Amino acid sequence: MTGKPLCSIISAGCAKYGIRSGLSGIDLFNEALDELFENCPSIRTSDVNALYLGQGFESFEHRANIAPGFANNYGFRNIPAVRVESVSSSGGTSLRQGILGILSGLYKIVICAGVEKMTGVDTGTALEIISEASDRPFEQWNGATLSALNALAAREHMRRYGTTEEQLAAVAVKNHENALNNEKAYLRKRISIQDVMSSRKICTPLKLLDCSPLCDRASALLLVSPELAKKYSENPIDIIGSGEASDSDFVYRKELTSFTSTKNALKESLSMSGKSIEDMDLIEVHDAFTINEVIAYEDLSLCERGQGGKLAESGATGIHGEIPVNTSGGLKAKGHPIGSSGIGQAYEIYNQLVGKVEPERRVEGAKVGMTHSMGGAGVDALVHVFASR
């Protein structure tokens, strides 16, 4: 099916990122859905055949099986409504399942959403919950948190390739710069390499400003089968590639500085799309930690193995660079509401391709974009390719 649209996005919605005190997950979901339906008045809730909802952790709101209640409260009557969970990539997984649903022929119109309300608990509880994302006997029990695992990856990358802490910091500086021009982003604050270098140590060599912040958010996409796209939208964006792959938990792997799951997901997605990585006009990558973006450059073939740090400091992935990465501000500066992050990436690519982002961070003339969503430290990855018509 090379190059054939798998499905089309005809609308998208996103709640504002940040600490949304007094609001729970369902309120954020409603906020995202309100924007989605406002942007596409020709579709009503009764037209929708199914909802996929990514949520990383049920413990933040002490509530499992959220999808049916959320769906029926919003006004979708009795449709299949399914939670999918792959921690940080739950949003990417939600998108993939929506695509499969449409390809199956059983659904014509699907909402793929993601949500996470993270700030209603104290920090200790939040860290305890997030530790569920790592392997229990060998990671959790040895204190190997996600920060620690990614610090290990960073250290090994520095040792093997001479990557510097300043190069990692360059990722944070760029993404904060982009978030300045994204009115829905959480951390809209210009930072310098020096700010990152002098910020509090989290797990050497990663410092506070190398890490993405917890926050609250929901986001949603409206997917239709390709033949319906023009009926409902003047400017549909096609999804032409979808790749998904898994791997062992981090501690069981020998290779620390490259993620097989990303490489396999990329391969599937590009092969389906008939595009090469050089065809991409912009990419949103998983940057929960700055090292993740550096490794993603390499795994997505934006540069040679080991050259990710140099690419970061070269400016090539900046908004006016050769291949802009994380124009939204990324998870790093826009915020990382676990279950929502993957859909948030697609929200950015969709809005860039339809030309609806703030002018300061718009990639002019962009026609093809990519998202890269990752669960845990390379435990799974999803890569999607989007194209305007």
Residues forming the site for a second copy (CB under 8 A): 1, 24, 56-59, 61-65, 67-69, 71-73, 76, 78-87, 93, 96-97, 99-101, 103-106, 131-133, 135-136, 140, 242, 244-249, 252, 260-261, 264, 375-376, 379-380
How far is it, in rounded angstroms, from Cα 108 to Cα 8?
10
User: Taking a C-beta distance cutoff of 8 angstroms, is the pair 14, 32 a contact?
Assistant: yes
Strands 237-246 and 282-284: unpaired
Structure-token pair, residue 77: 């009557």
Smaller CB separation from a second copy, 67 or 202: 67
Closest contact distance (angstroms) between CB of 152 and a second copy is 17
Closest contact distance (angstroms) between CB of 110 and a second copy is 11
Closest contact distance (angstroms) between CB of 175 and a second copy is 24
User: Taking a C-beta distance cutoff of 8 angstroms, is the pair 177, 278 a contact?
Assistant: no
Closest contact distance (angstroms) between CB of 123 and a second copy is 18
Smaller CB separation from a second copy, 160 or 252: 252
Closest contact distance (angstroms) between CB of 265 and a second copy is 9
Kindly give, in sequence order, each residue whose CB lies less than 8 Å from that of residue 322, ignoring residues fewer than 6 positions away.
Answer: 316
Closest CA to 145 of 85, 62, 211: 211
Smaller CB separation from a second copy, 104 or 123: 104
Smaller CB separation from a second copy, 85 or 298: 85
Closest contact distance (angstroms) between CB of 306 and a second copy is 22
Smaller CB separation from a second copy, 179 or 382: 382
Closest contact distance (angstroms) between CB of 49 and a second copy is 11
How far is it, in rounded angstroms, from Cα 37 to Cα 46?
12
Beta bridge partners of 109: 224
Instruction: Report how far apart, in Å, the C-alpha atoms of 256 and of each of 48, 252, 378 are.
Output: 42, 10, 9
Closest CA to 212 of 314, 60, 97, 345: 345
Element (H, E) at 177: helix 165-180
Smaller CB separation from a second copy, 27 or 177: 27
Beta bridge partners of 169: none
Smaller CB separation from a second copy, 103 or 193: 103
Smaller CB separation from a second copy, 255 or 322: 255
Residue 352 CA, chain-centre distance (Å), reads: 15
Smaller CB separation from a second copy, 35 or 135: 135
How far is it, in rounded angstroms, from Cα 359 to Cα 247?
39
SS3 54: strand
SS3 309: helix
Task: Classify burial at 370, counting beta carbons within 10 Å of its beta carbon; exposed 0-12, middle 13-18, buried 19 or more.
Answer: buried
Closest contact distance (angstroms) between CB of 155 and a second copy is 23
Closest contact distance (angstroms) between CB of 118 and a second copy is 14
